[in-house]
Structure 1
Amino acid sequence: MEKEKLYEQFKQLNFGEVLLDEPMKNHTSFKIGGPADIMIIPKREEDIVESIKFCRNNNIKYFVMGNGTNLLVKDSGIRGVVIKIGKDYDKIDVVDDRIICQSGALLSIVGKKALENSLTGFEFASGIPGTVGGAIAMNAGAYGGEMKDIVSKVQVLDKENNILELEKEQMNFRHRGSRVVDDELIVLAVEFQLKKGDYSIIEQEMKDLAYKRKSKQPLEYPSGGSVFKRPIGHYASKLIDDAGLKGLRFRDAQVSEKHCGFIINKGNATFEDVFTLIKTVQKVVRDKFDILLEPEIKIIGD
């Protein structure tokens, strides 16, 4: 189906905001990426479910994203439909020591809610960029904590269009992975189990972690976060540094001098700029240390 006709059809179906030829660089933290044929920004659970059902039933290629904080999108963009679960699907409720939120909620906002209600356990995640849905999919973590430590239930849409509620034990959480990835599930909502704590202690912990993050990571530049997975027994950033690659630049893409695990966009970096740098870093580290660095960021596009 032609994208213009598809665009008109989606507008009539009213699954949320519908955009045509939407530049992906406006929706990724790297600020890189060509146009998506169609982008849908759903407002309700049924918008997500029905838009995905429609794509599946009509054999239309689709991709579901959150805040785009770990995506590197090709300059040619994405054919088909991008369903962006974000700002319009981000309701957060606090019930006693639990926080129940829709998958488009930002972790930073959930962290603020936890603090407001003197709930402890979410501190490690309060500075992680991205949405709850993306964090659950990859079992996001920082500073000794991971999503698996605080999740109690996850509501998902499965490949047969069934809405399921999964307990933590059913999620197959592991380092930067989960059942969401294994079974191609779509996260709709999450329940976090936290504990009552002391407001001032929680606040201080969040401030300390925010300072650590700011002092050690190149947050002043667009990036996709840590580019490579941590190899067993090593740190990717140390291997890159030891290989003499700190500050290595290709056009407007650069290995950060502040944290070698990050590749930053110094201006108008393209997909090809960043991808060339990724390949170069992989080759040099493999040649020097016989270790293959695997990308942690997701590379997508057509």
Structure 2
Amino acid sequence: MLDKSKFETIDDLELKYNEPLSHYTFTKVGGPADVLAFPKSIDALQTLIEVARTNDLPITVLGNASNLIVRDGGIRGIVILLEQLNLVNIAGYTIEAQAGAPLIEVSQIAQKHALTGFEFACGIPGSVGGAVFMNAGAYGGELSQVLASCKVIDTEGNISVLRGEEMHWGYRNSIIREQNLIVISAKFELSTGDPAVILNEMTRLNQLRSSKQPLEYPSCGSVFKRPEGHFAGRLIQEAGCQGHRIGGVEVSKKHAGFMVNVADGTAKDYENLIAYVIEQVNQKLGIKLETEVRIIGEN
């Protein structure tokens, strides 16, 4: 039995119990969190982690829940959303953004301050913390190219700073993911540029995104990693899976690399459709697709 009193003495902390995570995910699926916590300060986050550790409760951080599927059984223990830790500061060519700041907003702030290098992120619907966690990228850019340092907290509540070269960057991977760290904030080193030119590039990328991606439906973003020498969407088309539907989830007719929630789909529908596509592409083309989307929680 969860002892609510352990958490309710923490200052600067909003709590919800047995809260459906479908209200917070881009897929609009996901069962309840035992405790959903919204820390409003780093002190509150640190205290929350300490309470969880001393009470042997697991912690899950969701980021902006944009490249994520939460299973229908939900998540036990404490789920943390850092959306209220969202301050962004500028110092010269450096932007420091807290983990809950939306990437899109950070790219807009960079443009207004004549800073270039962050345009690739102008349409990525994630948070800074989630983007660092998975080395998010688009249109030839990745977080690893601009991150100077990152402030993190571990499961013991210890805060430290990692330099960009210490991040163990990989394709949709970083040391944050490998070591179960939580991003508090990140510093990005950018360059000076012409605000009009930067804005034109952001407009171009956003038009490209809206013309190719099914933004009109709930989705988990790009489902599969790009196989070497191939595009996942094209392989899915060639295997005859585009438009295939299981339950309320469908392989997008607009972009086969996406799966969209078209009719009150469930996380199980997503997982079944992912398994079907992997099987069909492997069977027909001899290529094993790997998921990029993170799938967590209980069935």
Which residue of structure 1 aligns with residue 265 of structure 2? Answer: 269
Contact 2:49-2:156 at 8 Å conserved across structures: no
Identify the residue that residue 199 of structure 1 maps to in structure 2.
195
Corresponding residue for residue 28 of structure 1: 25
For 1:109 and 1:149, the matched residues in 2 are separated by 18
In structure 2, the partner of 1:59 is 56
The residue identity in structure 1 corresponding to 2:64 is N
CA–CA distance in 2 between the matches of 1:249 and 1:30?
15
Q: Which residue of 2 is the match for residue 42 of structure 1? A: 39
- Normalising by structure 2, what TM-score? 0.97
Q: Is contact 1:103-1:187 (8 Å) kept?
A: yes
The alpha-carbon deviation at position 79 of structure 1 amounts to: 1.3
Q: What do the CA deviations read for 1:27-61 (whole angstroms, capped 9, x no partner)? A: 10000011111100111111112211221222112
Q: Any conservation in 1 of the 2:27–2:219 contact (CA below 8 Å)?
A: yes
Matched to 1:247, the amino acid is G
Q: CA deviation at 1:94?
A: 0.7
Q: Which residue of 2 aligns with 1:75?
A: 72
User: What residue number does 2:171 align with?
Assistant: 175
The number of equivalent residue pairs is 298
Q: Which amino acid aligns with 2:28?
A: K
Post-superposition Cα deviations, 1:213-232, rounded to whole Å, max 9, x if no partner, equal 00000000000001111112
Structure 1: gaps of 5 or more residues: none
**Superposition deviation, residue 15 in structure 1:** 4.9
Name the SS for the 2:272 alignment partner: helix
More deviation in 13-22 or 195-204? 13-22
- Which residue of structure 2 lines up, in the alignment, with residue 247 of structure 1? 243
Deviation per residue, 1:99-130 (Å, 9 max, x gap): 01111100011011101111100000111011
CA RMSD of aligned residues (A): 1.1
For residue 185 of structure 2, the aligned residue among 186, 189, 193 is 189
Letter in 1 for 2:65: G
Give the letter aligned to residue 216 of structure 2: E
Query: Is 1:284 the counterpart of 2:275 in the alignment?
Result: no
- In structure 2, how many angstroms separate the alpha carbons of the residues matched to 1:74 and 1:183? 23
> Structure 1 residues 15 and 51 mapped into 2: Cα distance closer, same or farther (>3 Å)?
farther
Q: Distance in 1 between matches of 2:51 and 2:103?
A: 29
Amino acid at match of 2:236: I
| 5+ long unaligned stretches in structure 2 | none
Query: 2:215 maps to what in 1?
Result: 219
Matched residues, percent identical?
A: 43
200-209 or 153-162: bigger deviation: 153-162
Q: Separation in 2 of the partners of 1:251 and 1:174?
A: 34
Judge conservation of contact 2:123–2:206 (CA < 8 Å) in 1. yes
Distance in 2 (CA, whole Å) between partners of 1:194 and 1:206 is: 15
Please name the residue that 1:295 is paired with: 291
Q: How does 1:35-184 map to 2 (within 5 A)?
A: 35-86=32-83, 88-184=84-180
SS at the partner of 2:27?
Answer: coil
Question: Could you state the TM-score of these two structures normalised by the residue count of structure 1?
Answer: 0.96
CA distance in 1 between counterparts of 2:46 and 2:133 reads 17
